[in-house]
Amino acid sequence: MSPSVNDRVAGAALGIAAWLCGGISLLILIWVGVEAIPALNNDPGISSLLGDAHWLPGSVREPQFGMLPILAGSVLVTIFSIIPATVAGVGCAVFQRFYAPKWMRTFLRRVLELLAGIPSVVIGFWGLVVLVPILQKWQPPGQSLAAAAIVLAIMILPTVALTASTALKNVSPGLFRAAAALGMGRARTILGVALPTARRGIAGGVILAAARAIGETMAVVMVCGNVAQWPGSIFDPIRPATATIALEMSYATAGHRSVLFALAFFLVLVVGAAVGWIAFRKPSTPHRR
């Protein structure tokens, strides 16, 4: 075979591989989307999804599919995990970049990387056997929004801390020289110059972390208590979307099953939009106070 034929065959084969890889997300959208159609259409239909008061998909006589408490669970657990993770993660990054001695800097980074590598089922298990009993003694029942938020915060903190650290590292040294030449102290340089300058990178990390939090399943399902309700306090059990899917898919049929696919489809859209937004943000926005 002449080299050019060889080249064309190889090019075609690699091209097929590339299109296949790029096309998988489309396959996912289609296959999950098709299963979700009945739920959005009439079985049970959007009005039922948004209008029903409760989530009682298994009820034989009158099943209800009010998914608002479930969506609320997802949103609440994301918010309550992202806040402590952001505070602690950015604090960690500031300490690592501007205060820690050199050896500790690398050590902290390694620990964060290891923490990021702990699988969600293992952290969930830890939450179930260690964290939940502690909470239970203090604020029963233990399996709750709070437990899920803590477990999630531990999981996403490394993402926030590591991206914040990178963003702070990328602040131009010229700005630190400018601050020093103006006689600015360390705290004001960090709070006034470094963090605001790195805010885009930090925000990107926080959004990525939030996307992970809302899509996380195993760690949450093991500690959240799994009651589809509007929580009255953070110590009440909840049931976010991912947990709902994981728990009910094995026995769901017909409309119920379709609703679970609709939840999954919705998750993909939300997370994809968040991640896409970071990727395609304008390179720089004029600063306004």
Partner 1 sequence: MITVENLSIHYGNLAAVRDVSLDIPEGKITAVVGPSGCGKSSFLASLNRLTDLIPGAKVAGEIRLNGKSDIVNDPGLDLLELRRTVGMVFQKPNPFPLSIRKNFELPLLEHGISKREIPGRIESTLREVGLWDEISDRLDESAENLSGGQQQRLCIARALALRPKVILFDEPCSALDPLASGVVEDHIAALRGKVTVVIVTHNLAQARRIADEVALFWVRDGAGCVIETGPANTIFDRPKDPDAALYFSGARG
Partner 2 sequence: MIGGAARLSRNDRLLGAAGGFAALVVLVGFGAIVFDLFQTGTASLSIPFLVGKVENGGRAGGIGPVLISTGMILLVCLAVALPLGTGCAIWLSEFASKIRFARAITAGIDLLASVPSIVFGLFGMVFFCRTLGLGFSITSGGLTLACMILPIVIRTTLIGLSGAPSNLRPGAAALGLSRVSTIRHLLLPVAIPGVVVGTTLGISRALAETAALIFTSGYATRWPEGFDDSGRAISVHIYDLAMNVPGGAANAAASALVLLLALLFINYLATLLADRWLLKRIAPTSE
**How many Å is the maximal CA-CA distance in the chain?**
76
174 binds partner 1 (CB under 8 A): yes
57 vs 170: CA distance, rounded Å: 51
Nearer of residues 8 and 188 to partner 1, judged by Cβ: 188
Q: Which span (109-117, 193-201, 216-224, 258-266) binds partner 1, by CB under 8 A?
A: 193-201
What residue 56 binds from partner 2, partner 1, none (CB within 5 to 8 A, per partner kind)? none
193 binds partner 1 (CB under 8 A): yes
What residue 284 binds from partner 2, partner 1, none (CB within 5 to 8 A, per partner kind)? partner 1
CA distances from 229 to 1, 145, 151, 226 (A): 68, 11, 20, 9
Instruction: Provide the minimum distance between the beta carbon of 97 and partner 1 in the complex, in angstroms, as a whole number.
Output: 15
Among 180, 249, 269, 273, binds partner 1 (CB under 8 A): 180
**Residue 27 tokens, joined:** 């396959």
What residue 197 binds from partner 2, partner 1, none (CB within 5 to 8 A, per partner kind)? partner 1
Among 184, 234, 246, 268, binds partner 1 (CB under 8 A): 184
DSSP the chain: --HHHHHHHHHHHHHHHHHHHHHHHHHHHHHHHHHHHHHHHTSS-HHHHHH-SSEETT-SSS-EE--HHHHHHHHHHHHHHHHHHHHHHHHHHHHHHHTS-HHHHHHHHHHHHHHHHS-HHHHHHHIIIIIHHHHHHHSTT--SHHHHHHHHHHHHHHHHHHHHHHHHHTS-HHHHHHHHHTT--HHHIIIIIIHHHTHHHHHHHHHHHHHHHHH--HHHHHHSB---S--SSTTS-B--HHHHHHHHTTT--HHHHHHHHHHHHHHHHHHHHHHHHHHHS-S------
245 vs 265: CA distance, rounded Å: 11
Residues 250-289 as x/- pattern, contact with partner 1 by CB under 8 A: ----------------------------------x-xxxx
Instruction: Provide the minimum distance between the beta carbon of 228 and partner 2 in the complex, in angstroms, as a whole number.
Output: 16
What residue 221 binds from partner 2, partner 1, none (CB within 5 to 8 A, per partner kind)? partner 2
227 vs 148: CA distance, rounded Å: 13
Among 21, 26, 60, 181, binds partner 1 (CB under 8 A): 181
104 binds partner 1 (CB under 8 A): no
Q: Are 71 and 241 in contact (CB under 8 A)?
A: yes
Among 3, 22, 117, 183, binds partner 1 (CB under 8 A): 183
Nearer of residues 2 and 285 to partner 2, judged by Cβ: 2
What residue 27 binds from partner 2, partner 1, none (CB within 5 to 8 A, per partner kind)? partner 2
Nearer of residues 250 and 284 to partner 1, judged by Cβ: 284
What residue 145 binds from partner 2, partner 1, none (CB within 5 to 8 A, per partner kind)? none
Nearer of residues 41 and 51 to partner 2, judged by Cβ: 41
Instruction: Provide the minimum distance between the beta carbon of 11 and partner 2 in the complex, in angstroms, as a whole number.
Output: 5
Sites of contact with partner 1 (CB under 8 A): 172, 174-185, 188, 192-193, 196-197, 284, 286-289
